[in-house]
Amino acid sequence: MAPRERGLHELYADDPGRADALVFGRRVGVTRRGFLGGAGRGALAAALGAALPFGDVFPGGLVPAAFANAESPFVIPGKDPGLVVLNDRPLNAETPAHLLDDDVTPASRMFVRNNGIPPDGVDPTTWTLAIDGESAAAERRFSIDELKRGFAHHRYRLQLECGGNGRSEFDPPARGNQWTTGAVACPEWTGVRLRDVLEAVGVRDDAVYVGFTGADRHLSGDPDKRPISRGVPIAKARQDETLLAFAMNGEPIPALHGAPLRLVCGGWPASTSGKWLRGLAVRDRVHDGAKMGGSSYRVPCRPVAAGSAVPDEEMCIIESMPVKSLITAPRSGATIPLGTSLALRGHAWAGEHAVSGVAVSIDFGQTWTPCALDSAVNRLAWQRFRTELRFPGPGYYEVWARATDERGRAQPMVVPGWNPKGYLNNATHRVALRVVA
């Protein structure tokens, strides 16, 4: 049997000491407090090719940020060649952090998350959306032109993030696309409010959920199977920012991102924002479509030990995403001349909530420097943060970013709350820098 290839995060999760040995050429020393000892600092510095000014507080067994990212040899037509392809059936690709620096994410740099095979030969002029369900007062069908002519248009920047963003760091490893940090984006969407369309159709008092159906096909080719059919509670469906979108960044939505019509539910797992939208069902119960049950987009209702088997009835549906931040400049691995001021910036978001503050650390979390933080341009958009940094001497540094939301909830320093599918990793983001004299 051929040896199984293992990723860097998996190696560190199984045996940090052995992983250090494989990465640095020998097992490194760790102090009783869990930090690298003198021998460990020397081995790490040699591997990094730079001194470690704060090496005495570098946690032993932590994957250095300089080693944590991978490049992809595949290029998706219409996409920036820097996107990293994680899967080709179905197609899934993430965007490295430094390519997400725009305030409004361009289509070429938006991550790709597919559950099935996108439809072929889409014609917006003949496309229709059916609305029905137990709690719909009537069954209606709208063409895209009828939606555009019959309802007010709204434009919002809405942040979307895959529920599994950061999955690659969970231990024990979780199955699925091994996202690092790049399954997130904040384009500008134009469309009509789902609330307005539901009001035109009529919604009964017993309405609980709105579920979607798309035109994508199941990987098996079975026309009776749906690759995904999720939804949101009626209260989320009625929010001002929940859109039936037909444009992205002022242009028709690209094929990979749901053309000609998609649902956009900002701040919740992107799996609730159905692409290639064909149908909406107003339900008198929690929607029971594909990827709504079991462990799909669910986490344990209460904390569990890593690796635990969790019964389905003890899993809760993910709703608002947790507070998180992403350093977009400088790029991880950059070289900085000693004595220069480094302009650092990035984005932060917190699902349904606003971000109240972002701080950064250059000494592995020992001290923190507050950043300037912009307000969101509209609710459910990400927020820009920025600061200027100087470094005390030459060597290898990591900049860590930690956001806090308006409720006082901050990003954890380590991977949070293990769950069977590796969802909701909002640990602090880290980038590696080398400062040279």
- DSSP structure class, residue 164: T
- CA–CA separation, 121 and 211 (whole Å): 25
State how far the Cα of 108 lies from the Cα of 206, in Å rounded to an integer: 42
Would you list the domain boundaries of the chain? 8-61, 84-317, 324-436
**Among the listed ranges 39-48, 163-172, 193-202, which one has the minimum average pLDDT value?**
39-48
The neighbour count for residue 224, using CB atoms within 10 Å, is 6
Question: How high is the pLDDT of residue 3?
Answer: 41
Q: Are 280 and 232 in contact (CB under 8 A)?
A: no
Cα 12 to Cα 414: distance, rounded to the nearest angstrom: 13
Pull the structure tokens for residue 172. 């024990």
CA nearest 212: which of 247, 196, 236? 236
CA of residue 51 relative to chain centroid, distance: 33
Confidence band, pLDDT 50/70/90 cuts, at residue 48: low
- Assign residue 280 a region: left if phi > 0, alpha if psi is -120 to 50, beta otherwise? beta
pLDDT at 6: 47
Average pLDDT over residues 212-222: 96
Q: If DSSP codes are grouped into helix, strand and coil, which group holds residue 150?
A: helix
- pTM across the whole model: 0.85
Asked if 50 contacts 396 with a C-beta cutoff of 8 angstroms, the reply is yes
pLDDT for residue 24: 43
Res. 435 pLDDT band, cuts 50 70 90: very high
- Pairwise pLDDT comparison (2 vs 303), residue with the higher score: 303
* Cα angle: 178, vertex 180, 185; to 5 degrees: 110
397-414 mean pLDDT: 97
Mean pLDDT of 114-127: 95
- Asked which of 14-18, 127-131, 272-276, 334-338 is least confident by mean pLDDT, the reply is 14-18
Assign 310 a pLDDT band (cuts: 50, 70, 90). Answer: very high
One fold for 84-317 and 324-436:
no
DSSP symbol at 315: E
- Bridge-based pairing of strands 334-337 and 429-436 is parallel
pLDDT at residue 17 tops 70: no
Instruction: Tell me the three state secondary structure of residue 380.
Output: coil
Judged against a pLDDT cut of 80, whether residue 175 lies above it is answered with yes
The Cα–Cα gap between 382 and 324 comes to 10
Residue at 70: amino acid letter: A
Higher-pLDDT residue of 44 and 194 is 194
pLDDT at 404: 98
% the chain with pLDDT above 70: 85
The SS3 of residue 174 is coil
Look at residue 53 in the predicted model and tell me its pLDDT. Answer: 80
Region of 154 (left: φ > 0; alpha: ψ -120 to 50; beta: rest) is: beta
Residue 41: pLDDT above 90? no
Average pLDDT over residues 17-36: 50
Angle CA 346–350–351, to nearest 5: 125
CB-CB contact of 286 with 209 (8 Å): yes
pLDDT at 27: 47
In the prediction, which pLDDT does 4 show?
43
Tell me how far apart the alpha carbons of residues 131 and 113 are, in angstroms, rounded to a whole number: 25
235 contact partners, CB below 8 Å, separation of at least 6: none
User: Rounded to an integer, what distance in angstroms lies between the CA atom of residue 151 and that of residue 13?
Assistant: 52
Choose among 133, 104, 144: nearest CA to 209. Answer: 133
Of 86-90, 272-276, 373-377, the poorest mean pLDDT is in 86-90
Q: Does residue 26 carry a pLDDT above 60?
A: no
DSSP string, 345-365: EEEEEBTTB-EEEEEEESSTT
Over residues 313-339, the pLDDT tens digits come to 999 999 999 999 999 999 999 999 999
Q: Tell me which of 3.40.50.1820, 3.90.420.10, 3.20.20.110, 2.60.40.1930 is the CATH number of domain 84-317.
A: 3.90.420.10
Task: Inform me whether the pLDDT recorded for 252 exceeds 70.
Answer: yes
Q: What average pLDDT score do residues 292-305 get?
A: 97
* DSSP code per residue over 28-82: PPB-TTSBB-HHHHHHHHHHHTS--TTGGGSBTTPPPGGGS----S---TTS-TT
pLDDT tier at 89, thresholds 50, 70, 90: confident
- Run of H or E including 252: strand 251-252
List Cβ neighbours of 106 (8 Å cut-off, separation of 6 or more): 187, 249
Range of lowest pLDDT (70-74, 256-260, 362-366)? 70-74
Model pLDDT, residue 10: 56
Assigned architecture for domain 324-436: Sandwich (2.60)
Instruction: Give residue 71's pLDDT.
Output: 56
Judged by average pLDDT, the poorest of 34-48, 203-217, 381-395 is: 34-48
Cα 236 from Cα 287, distance rounded (Å) = 14
